[in-house]
Amino acid sequence: MKAAVLVFPGSNCDRDLVVAFEAAGADVTMVWHKETSLPDGIDIVGVPGGFSYGDYLRCGAIAANSPITRDLKAHAERGGYVLGICNGFQVLTETGLLPGALLRNAGLKYICKTVPLKVQTSDSIFTEGYNAGDVVGFPIAHHDGNYYADDETLAQLEGENRIAFTYEDNPNGSRGDIAGILSHNRRVLGMMPHPERAADIGHGGTDGAALFRACVGALTPA
Amino acid sequence: MKARVHVMLKKGVLDPQGEAVRHALGALGFEGVNGVRQGKVIELDLAEGATEATVKEMCEKLLANTVIESYAIEMG
């Protein structure tokens, strides 16, 4: 099973994401943003956290128009899998692959701590290693993680069971306590919390490892 | 020629920065500030003959995120 992790200027969770995918058994290639196409045969693309392009203009806005991002969109439109974490989630909303947007945290502060999340659905390759209703601890580290979508979009996300994770104790003002959402075909997951930072015993928690094990397992031929 | 693009959060989208500025003005003794909305201004230096339609396209594709932001264009 082959994974690609995109690297933008200012990405800083790219290596962590590679380690988490590799620990789950994936063959991972890092892809610089100036490349115009993903390597052949990629099953899943990871869009990592960080501060791509210094968060200039809007978080994720410049990365959403990087050369590699055009092929990322093509990959998703072909039914390919994508996992966007933190800044990666912001990039996915800016590209339109996921609905809504991430605003400045309601408390205006950058927040870095491990928070409890509720798994809302196990119906995706990312979340099938959990049961709906499970509470897991993932670190958050963001200044702009306040999920916003209009009422109609929120109702659609709920109606289609596309809310993957919610905050148990909303840290940033996100509408509907939303921490992560799935695309219409359930193959694109964007989330602000960092499962790759809770994937090894040395991280102080391993709740995130199940996410990588599940998606690598689902995409590895039996 | 110049164009100036004003980008603001849409009405109904909470603006926590504007709210913080409003509180700070109150703390400085300015009374009666009922609301503050903070946005940004982007100045473009364009080749002669650039049209407002082109600037609108720039806004839609990059300068504003129309999920959360509205924009206004001033040409010239």
Number of domains in chain B: 1
β-bridge pairing A188-191 and A81-85: parallel
Q: Does residue B24 belong to the interface with chain A, where contact is any CB pair within 8 Å?
A: no
- Write out chain B residues lying below 8 Å of A94, CB-based: 65
Domain CATH for B32: 3.30.1280.10
H/E element holding A29? strand A27-32
Residue A100 has pLDDT above 80, yes or no: yes
CA distance A108 to chain B (A): 7
Contact B13 A103 (CB under 8 A): yes
Number of domains in chain A: 1
Residue-range definition of the domain harbouring residue B28: 2-75
Contact B13 A149 (CB under 8 A): no
Residue matched to tokens 């993957």: A164
> Which pLDDT tens digit goes with each residue over B27-63?
999 999 999 999 999 999 999 999 999 999 999 999 9
Contact A148 B67 (CB under 8 A): yes
- pTM for this one? 0.95
- Sheet of A44-47: strand order equals A27-32, A2-7, A44-47, A81-85, A188-191, A178-182, A163-167, A111-119, A135-142
H/E element holding A16? helix A14-23
Residue A90 has pLDDT above 80, yes or no: yes
> Could you tell me the two tokens for A189?
């997951």
Give the per-residue pLDDT at A222: 74
Residue-range definition of the domain harbouring residue A61: 2-219
Give the per-residue pLDDT at A221: 85
Give the per-residue pLDDT at A120: 98
Contact B67 A99 (CB under 8 A): yes
Best residue in B65, B70, B71 to probe A by mutation, most A CBs within 10 Å?
B65
- Write out chain A residues lying below 8 Å of B65, CB-based: 58, 61, 94, 101
Counted residue by residue, chain A has a size of 222
Give the per-residue pLDDT at B14: 86
Give the pLDDT mean for A89-113: 97
Residue B12 has pLDDT above 90, yes or no: no
pLDDT bracket for residue B73 (50, 70, 90): very high
Domain CATH for A97: 3.40.50.880
Question: Exposed/middle/buried for A113, CB within 10 Å: 0-12, 13-18, 19+?
Answer: exposed
Question: Exposed/middle/buried for B76, CB within 10 Å: 0-12, 13-18, 19+?
Answer: exposed
Contact A108 B65 (CB under 8 A): no
- Write out chain A residues lying below 8 Å of B14, CB-based: 103, 106, 146, 148, 173
Q: Does residue B20 belong to the interface with chain A, where contact is any CB pair within 8 Å?
A: yes
Give the per-residue pLDDT at B76: 84
- By annotation, the residues of A acting in catalysis are 86, 194, 196
Contact A58 B65 (CB under 8 A): yes
